[in-house]
Amino acid sequence: MTFDWAFILTTLPAFGKAVWVTLQLGTIVILSSLTVALLNVILLSLHKPSLTALIRAYVELARNTPLLIQLFFLYFGLPALGLSLSGFATAVIAMTFLGGGYLTEALRAGIQAVPASQLEAGRAIGLSRWQLLRHVQLPQAWLASLPALFANFIFLLKETTVASAVAVPELLYTTKNYIALYYKTYEMLAVLTLMCVLIFLPLSLALRVVERRLQHGQFGH
Nearest residue to 119 (alpha-carbon basis) of 47, 37, 195:
47
Query: Is the separation of the CB atoms in 1 and 186 below 8 Å?
Result: yes
Alpha-carbon distance of 181 to 17, in angstroms, equals 18
pTM for this predicted structure: 0.89
Computed over every residue of the chain, the mean pLDDT equals: 89
For residue 79, what pLDDT band results from cuts at 50, 70 and 90?
confident
* pLDDT reported for residue 220: 47
Alpha-carbon distance of 46 to 180, in angstroms, equals 53
Alpha-carbon distance of 146 to 22, in angstroms, equals 23
The DSSP string of 55-70 is HHHHHHHHHTS-HHHH
Strand ranges, E, within the chain: none
Alpha-carbon distance of 11 to 195, in angstroms, equals 12
Residues 48-67 pLDDT 10s: 899 999 999 999 999 999 99
Q: Does residue 80 have a pLDDT over 80?
A: yes
Helix (H) or strand (E) holding 152: helix 138-158
Specify the range with the lowest mean pLDDT, choosing from 28-37, 90-99, 134-143, 185-194.
Answer: 134-143
Residues 129-177 pLDDT 10s: 788 888 788 888 888 888 899 999 999 999 999 999 998 999 999 999 9
